[in-house]
Amino acid sequence: MSRDMNESSPCRRMLTIAVVAAIMPSFALAEVRVVTTNPTLADLTRQIGGEQVHVESLMRGPENPHNVIPKPSFVMKLRKADLFVHLGLDAEPWVPNLLRSARQARLLSGGTGNIDTSTGIVLLEVPSQGGLTRALGDIHVYGNTHYVLDPLNGIVIGQTIARALTRVEPRHASLFDERARELERGLRELTEKLTQAMEPLAEARVVTYHRTWPYFLKRFKLQKLDEVEPKPGIAPGPRHIAQLAEEMKRSGVGLVIVETFSNQRTAQRVADLSKGRTVLLAQEVNAVPGVETFQALFQYNTEALLAANRELNGTSTNPPATEPTR
Ligand SMILES: [Zn+2]
């Protein structure tokens, strides 16, 4: 009964292996290798895949998804990937060439490992007539690509990822399914809480730099007055900036939402001319420090908007970091 387990005993060796495995990085145990274009999709994949996946994002958080310059390391990562998770549409124009370079048939468009997370998403700003058009710019021609900025679209994306992981690793199907349901429960709860918190801004009008925010604005009942970019991806000239500032003053609109990849000085210029203020929001997980999850992104953005609105209205010069619970 009390036989000692010495160094060479099978039990001790098994225990050692288990302990080492437990403290090793997660990829040591991962069964599905996933590469995502951006950190937001990487976080959602981790939330569904847990320890059954090893996930890497190609983009860093603050970057412009429409304008990434692929590095040689991207190809190396893709060559080892079972799944490639991306936004689809024309959100990431740098992806098709990259996939050709990686030469993995399963990851190409239509391949079993190519996961387009726009599947099942109800898109906004879809061209209504005459099919695709570049009249409104060189991007967003199928509709607005920034659909991850509605927290409830995270539910649809989570389900897409769960189905993809199940195809690769059917043994864990029930785990992936349960995590997708858990994600849905959490996101519904969070959305309800944040929608209530955003009531002071209900129907408020804002200016946005890039056309990044229609899904976010719609979910949280904000209205868009105009954009700093005259067309998506096109830099504004001095005349456009002056006209926009006039329009803001006339309309009593003071908030300019700016993404980390947009020109902060131009955004500030608009705010200065209109006597408004800019508010930097996270368009992506890891776009700003502290926004490390999909859920944290919405928490951060709603708090930042409420604080900016209070400052603009002179009701607080030192807004609290966290909105009080209502
Ligand atoms: Zn865009």
Listed by start position, the domains of the chain span: 10-193, 199-312
DSSP structural state of residue 226: E
Question: Does domain 10-193 bear CATH number 3.40.50.1980?
Answer: yes
Which of 217, 211, 290 is CA-nearest to residue 258?
211
**pLDDT of res. 189:** 98
**Distance in angstroms (rounded) separating the CA atoms of residues 242 and 254:** 14
Q: How far is the CA of 233 from the centre of ligand 1 (A)?
A: 7
**pLDDT of res. 318:** 46
Residue type at position 262:
S
- How would you classify the pairing of strands 205-208 and 114-116? unpaired
**pLDDT of res. 30:** 62
Q: How far is the CA of 285 from the centre of ligand 1 (A)?
A: 16
Q: How far is the CA of 167 from the centre of ligand 1 (A)?
A: 31
**Distance in angstroms (rounded) separating the CA atoms of residues 301 and 77:** 31
Q: DSSP readout, 266-294?
A: HHHHHHHHHT-EEEE--SSTTSSTT--SH
pLDDT in tens, the chain (326 residues): 344 444 445 555 555 545 544 554 444 456 899 999 999 999 999 999 999 999 999 999 999 999 999 999 999 999 999 999 999 999 999 999 999 999 999 999 999 999 999 999 999 999 876 555 555 566 789 999 999 999 999 999 999 999 999 999 999 999 999 999 999 999 999 999 999 999 999 999 999 999 999 999 999 999 999 999 999 889 999 999 999 999 999 999 999 999 999 999 999 999 999 999 999 999 999 999 999 999 999 999 999 999 999 999 886 544 444 444 43
Whether the CB-CB separation of 190 and 184 falls below 8 Å is answered with no
Q: How far is the CA of 211 from the centre of ligand 1 (A)?
A: 6
**Distance in angstroms (rounded) separating the CA atoms of residues 229 and 26:** 42
Q: Fold match between 10-193 and 199-312?
A: yes
Q: How far is the CA of 234 from the centre of ligand 1 (A)?
A: 11
Task: Tell me how far the alpha carbon of residue 183 is from its chain's centroid.
Answer: 15
At the fourth CATH level, the homologous superfamily of domain 199-312 is: Nitrogenase molybdenum iron protein domain (3.40.50.1980)
The single residue listed with the structure tokens 């009701």 is 315
Which of 94, 86, 87, 42 is CA-nearest to residue 68?
94
Q: How far is the CA of 173 from the centre of ligand 1 (A)?
A: 34
**pLDDT of res. 128:** 76
**pLDDT of res. 320:** 43
Whether the CB-CB separation of 184 and 213 falls below 8 Å is answered with no
Q: How far is the CA of 185 from the centre of ligand 1 (A)?
A: 29
**pLDDT of res. 314:** 85
Q: How far is the CA of 87 from the centre of ligand 1 (A)?
A: 11
